[in-house]
Amino acid sequence: MSKKQNILVLGGKGKTGSRVASRLVEKGQIVRIGSRSEEPSFDWENSNTWEAALQDMDSIYITFQPDLAVPGAAEAIEGLTRQALKSGIKKVVLLSGKGEIEAEKCEEIVKNSGLEWTIVRASWFNQNFSESFFLDPILAGHVALPKNEAQVPYVDANDIADVVVEALLSSAHNAETYELTGPRTLTFSDVVREISTATGREIQFAEISMEEYNAMMKEFNLPENYLWLINYLFENVLVESNAVITHDIEKVLGRKPVDFTAYVNATEKTGVWNPAGLGLQ
């Protein structure tokens, strides 16, 4: 049993943060959720909130919203790690994005902060299709996306959380950078086909150009910073060099990563992919 720690989980209500927090509590750790709605509150846009949120904590799990690639992220990470050092924090685990050059700048800031650290560099999440921006098109039964040629080694948020918890609780993972992927790659049309088969629903996929996708997003009046991020991710992450499958999940956890089909089958049972009015299958 690892020594009991006080751990601040930033983004503790998000896809990985909520899973990390619940696992830490199950292991008898003391968890503080870092978000604007908590007390003490934590707000990335208000550095005056950071000191109180960090007080009496031993370690931090850092997730940055919306993404480490966005302008201003590096300055925020630098400010937070500086405050963490002042507050007596011993260890940070940073969630980073695989294939994101800007995110790697943030990683370097963490590595040079004077704190003990582990970097968890993740591929795109399986849960993007059930808890994030790809859910609505799936519910609508029509998914239109660019770059269908991209082979993506989707990783499960539960695997990420398990690796993060190991990194937070064991010094064996200090000064390590782990790249997390699933066991195989899929295109967008592969993903839609798997979800369609599992749900028994007809979900169509259409490949469109980046220009058409931008026009579609603008029709929904999405904010400019969101449009910028989506363009960045599609242009920089969905590239051939980022389709490499790694074995770091197996290295850390001693087991294979969750396969996309296993994720789809488990998620289908929750009913999240059933549009309102169809009822649960």
pLDDT over 70 (residue 268):
yes
> Is residue 168 in some structural domain?
yes
Domain CATH number, residue 255 = 3.40.50.720
Residue 132, classified by CB atoms within 10 Å of its CB into exposed (0-12), middle (13-18) or buried (19+), is middle
Residue 279 confidence class, pLDDT cut points 50, 70, 90: very low
Token pair, residue 164, equals 């993060």
Taking only the tens place, the pLDDT of each residue in 175-231 is 999 999 999 999 999 999 999 999 999 999 999 999 999 999 899 888 888 899 999
> Is residue 191 in some structural domain?
no
> Is residue 205 in some structural domain?
no
pLDDT over 60 (residue 22):
yes
Q: How many Å apart are CA 161 and CA 15, to the nearest integer?
A: 9
Percentage of the chain surpassing pLDDT 70?
98
pLDDT over 80 (residue 31):
yes
- Cβ of 189: how many Cβ atoms within 10 Å? 16
| Residue closest to 17 by CA, chosen among 164, 121, 126 | 164
> Is residue 226 in some structural domain?
no
Higher pLDDT, 281 or 139: 139
For position 280, what pLDDT does the model report? Answer: 42
pLDDT over 80 (residue 276):
no
Q: Whole domain around residue 137: which residue ranges?
A: 6-185+239-268
Report whether 50 contacts 8 (CB < 8 A): no
Q: Among the residues of 14-124, which ranges form H helices?
A: 17-26, 50-54, 73-86, 101-111
pLDDT over 50 (residue 1):
no
Q: What is the mean pLDDT of residues 70-93?
A: 97
For position 3, what pLDDT does the model report? Answer: 82
pLDDT over 60 (residue 58):
yes
For position 2, what pLDDT does the model report? Answer: 62
For position 281, what pLDDT does the model report? Answer: 38
> Is residue 73 in some structural domain?
yes
How many structural domains compose the chain?
A: 1
Average model confidence (pLDDT) across the chain:
95
Where does the chain show beta strands of DSSP type E? 6-10, 30-34, 59-62, 91-97, 116-122, 142-145, 176-180, 204-207
CA dihedral over 207, 213, 215, 217, signed as positive or negative: positive
> Is residue 222 in some structural domain?
no
H, E, C per residue of 242-280: HHCCCCHHHHHHCCCCCCHHHHHHHHHCCCCCCCCCCCC
For position 10, what pLDDT does the model report? Answer: 98
> Is residue 204 in some structural domain?
no
> Is residue 130 in some structural domain?
yes
pTM for this structure?
A: 0.95
Tokens 């488990």: give the residue: 266
Residue 278 confidence class, pLDDT cut points 50, 70, 90: low
Q: How far is CA 43 from the centre of its chain?
A: 18
Residue 53 confidence class, pLDDT cut points 50, 70, 90: very high
